[in-house]
Amino acid sequence: MARRIGEAVAVRLAQDVTSGAGAGVAPASFIWRDRVYVVREVLGYWRERQAWWNAPAVRAAAVGEDLPMAVGAEGQALKVAVDHEREVWRVEARGPRTVGAGVYDISRETTRGTDGEGWRLLAVAD
């Protein structure tokens, strides 16, 4: 039985990953609800299509507003891209004071960097 979570988590990334064709850098650990979970094994990796029609840029364009803007490193205005995919990692991880490891699905928006930003805990398998 899996519980849907959908909460933001802080992630520390591994340096080297060989878990499938095209796989990015996997999570090494994550912090969820002020507890550190150490990843013991990557069980799977995939990309999911997002509900692109819910993106703020698409909603703004649908009602005739300008696209949301971001500020670049030199202060110039940048248009915000609409991303249609996210990466999902299924990992086996062990939390503090737990007897066994659990299975967690962690996602990262592909528009974010790989520096630990934009990560969410999607589900926990009981």
Q: Are 41 and 91 in contact (CB under 8 A)?
A: yes
Q: How would residue 82 be classed by pLDDT, with cut points 50, 70 and 90?
A: low
Classify 54 as helix, strand or coil: helix
Rounded-to-integer distance, Cα 80 and Cα 90, Å: 29
pTM: 0.67
| In the predicted structure, residue 25 carries a pLDDT above the cut 90 | no
- The predicted pLDDT at position 105 comes to 97
* pLDDT interval class at 14 (50, 70, 90): confident
